[in-house]
Structure 1
Amino acid sequence: MIYSLEVPMAAFFLTHSRSALGAFYRCLRSRLGAPKAITATVHNLARLFYQIWTTAGRCTDPGMDYYEQKYQDLILKNLQKKAQAFGLQLIPKSQDKEEASFYQTLST
C-alpha cells in the first residue's frame, strides 16, 4: 500500500531524473512552482500507474529528449500563431540563408 507521503516524495525525486516525467516536472516547476508541479506530477504518475496496471506492464518511457522536442514544437507552433495574428511570418535561419543567396543570384 502506498502512503500519502510517499507519492509526492516520488514526484519530488524526479527533479534530476532524465526521463520524460522528470522533464515534465521541471517544466511545471519553473512555471507554477514546486507545490503545484509536485501535485501535477503525482496525477501524471497515477495515470501512468493505471496504464501500466491495465495493460499488464506494456509501457515505455519515451525519455527526456522526446518530451523536450514535443515542448519545443509546441512553443514554435504558438509563436507562429502569434506572428500570424500580427500579420508576420516566421522564417527559419537555414531557409533565410538559402533565400538570401537566391535573391543575390537574381539581382546579379
Structure 2
Amino acid sequence: MTGVDFTVIDGLNVLSVQTIISEVGLDPTRFPRVKHFTSWLGLCPGSRITGGKVKSSQTRQVVNRAANAFRIAAQALSRSNSALGAFYRRLRGRLGAPKAITATAHKLARMFYRLWTTRQAYCDPGADYYEQQYRERMVNNLKKKAQSLGFELVAQPEVTEGVS
C-alpha cells in the first residue's frame, strides 16, 4: 500500500498500522509538516496563552482512532527492551503513566510520519544506546553546573574487582 513496513517500529503491529492508515489515508501531502500531523492526532501539547500567561498546555480531546492506536502502541512499550521502551519508562517514573503514554505516542507518531514521507528504513538503536545518551547528557549538564559554580568535575575511574 504505502511501500513502507511500519511494523519495524516497536509497539506498532499490523492491526494498529491498518487502523492508522485507514484514518489518515495514503497521501502524506495532506499534512505539510510533522507538527500538523501530531496536532491533528491531538498528541501535541496545547498552548492556551493569554496576556503572556500560560493558562493550560494540555493536549486536545479528540475522537481519533489513529491517536488511540498510537497510545495503545505506546502503552505496549512498557516492557519492551528498546530505545522507545526506555524512553517510556523514564518518563513514567518522572511524570506518571498517562503523560508518559501521550509523550511516547507523540514520539511514535513523529516516527510514523518520518517513515511515511521519506520512505526510509527504520533501525532501533536499543535501550542501551538510549541509556548511554542519557548518561552523557547528564554528565555534560553536571559539568556545566559545576563550572558555573567555580568547581571542576572529575570522573572517578571505574574499578573492576576480579573474583579469584
| TM-score above 0.5, yes or no | yes
Q: Which AA in structure 2 matches 1:83?
A: A
* Separation in 1, partners of 2:134, 2:86: 10
* Separation in 1, partners of 2:146, 2:81: 33
2:38 is the counterpart of 1:38: no
* Separation in 1, partners of 2:90, 2:117: 28
Q: Secondary structure at the match of 1:5?
A: helix
Aligned-pair CA distance for 1:57: 4.2
* Separation in 1, partners of 2:121, 2:76: 23
State the partner residue of 1:10.
73
State the partner residue of 1:80.
143
Aligned-pair CA distance for 1:25: 0.6
Please list every run of at least 4 consecutive aligned residues from structure 1 whose deviation after the TM superposition is greater than 6 angstroms: none
Aligned-pair CA distance for 1:6: 2.6
State the partner residue of 1:23.
86
Q: Secondary structure at the match of 1:36?
A: helix
Q: Secondary structure at the match of 2:150?
A: coil
State the partner residue of 2:133.
70
Per the normalisation by structure 2, the TM-score is 0.54
Aligned-pair CA distance for 1:54: 1.8
> Whose helix proportion is higher, 1 or 2?
1
Unaligned runs of 5+ in 1: 95-108
2:154 is the counterpart of 1:91: yes
Identity %: 55
Per the normalisation by structure 1, the TM-score is 0.80
> Whose strand proportion is higher, 1 or 2?
2
* Separation in 2, partners of 1:81, 1:56: 39
